[in-house]
Structure 1
Amino acid sequence: MALASVGVSGAPGRRADSQATCNSGEVISTSTLMAGSVSLKVVTETCPGLTTSSPSSDAFRLDNGTVVIDNVDVRSPSSKRQTAISGTCDIQCMDIGTAADMSDCSIIENELNGIDGYFTAYPATRTTFSFQTCALNFINAIDEELSVYYPTIGTISGDVASDCLSGDMGSEGGECQEIPGLDWVFGAYGVTDM
């Protein structure tokens, strides 16, 4: 199994708000994820504003703080092939939420990093993990299901929160969009009622 580095760039800037493509979407599911001693709210919703693209063929996961490509958890839960993610993303800070308490974001990041497992991200959906004032999420912008490693969303979205929601009560949010395309997006922002 070949491993290759996947980068996360911290060059702040502005780009189109991928989160807005999901704001008028329909909620598919709402659940609670018990992660350690914390209960995270999980909401999956459609993103009607997305134009989906062709999927990647490799998974990426975190291994001792380094994002690596790996052919992990590519399976067929239904008649469609489930694809995993690979690539590089670029952190962009933007006004997509309210102020968040960084300790709430850190709780989500730490709890997701403690789960050794995957969740399924359906085509053209946003899956959001929230706790009190903070939300971390993943947008799937391809035509197939993706298998997403919980620690990957915890760490990458946590990096976005750290860069864009700095301080105890930070700014409005940001995202890490896959480059050069927009196959997937990790996001972090403040919430008032999630």
Structure 2
Amino acid sequence: MQVNNNGVISFLVSVSQFTPDPFPLDDGRRLLTPFWADIDTTNGGTLSYRQVLRFAQNDAIFLEADDIIRASFVDMRDFVSSWMYITTWDSVAFFGASDTSIRNSFQAVMVTDGRYSFAIFNYGDINWTTGAASGGDSGTGLGGTPAQVGFNAGDGVIFYSAPGSRTAAVVDIETTSNIGVPGRWVFRTDNSNIEGLECTTSGV
């Protein structure tokens, strides 16, 4: 697994590409894409990631994740996670920004009990969609080819593209959800059953 600066978590291979391709991709790239776009942390913001194993001293964050999974999937009412990987893009700017005060904050949380696995995408303030090298406006971070949100199994068949991906509407991803909680998207990732995909919106 590799955390890429461009808003992508990839498996087997790294992803340096900053302009997102439309899903599905059939080139073997297995991707989680909370916000695939041309992020430039040298212009501001931070990328951090950590693996967490369940112990008594950090039980609270696992309890929170368990509650999210149980509420999102009716057949997971007994889910108890044991491992978590948290990746956070905090107040990140876009490549080519002439106004580096325009920032995005978002997070991907991978969680598993050893049998079932899920990805939780959390969105804070989203203000830009596109880096300048992807055709975006250097003053606004809008236009061009906007960010892709979702996941891709790499086989050209199993994928999910959140509504608004690669359109101007992705700037409002923090107001939408597939579980009824604005700014949060949850996916089951351990098998081919793509679940919990009803799209709900709030505040738009």
TM-score by length of 2: 0.25
- Asked which structure has the greater CA Rg, the reply is 2
TM-score by length of 1: 0.26
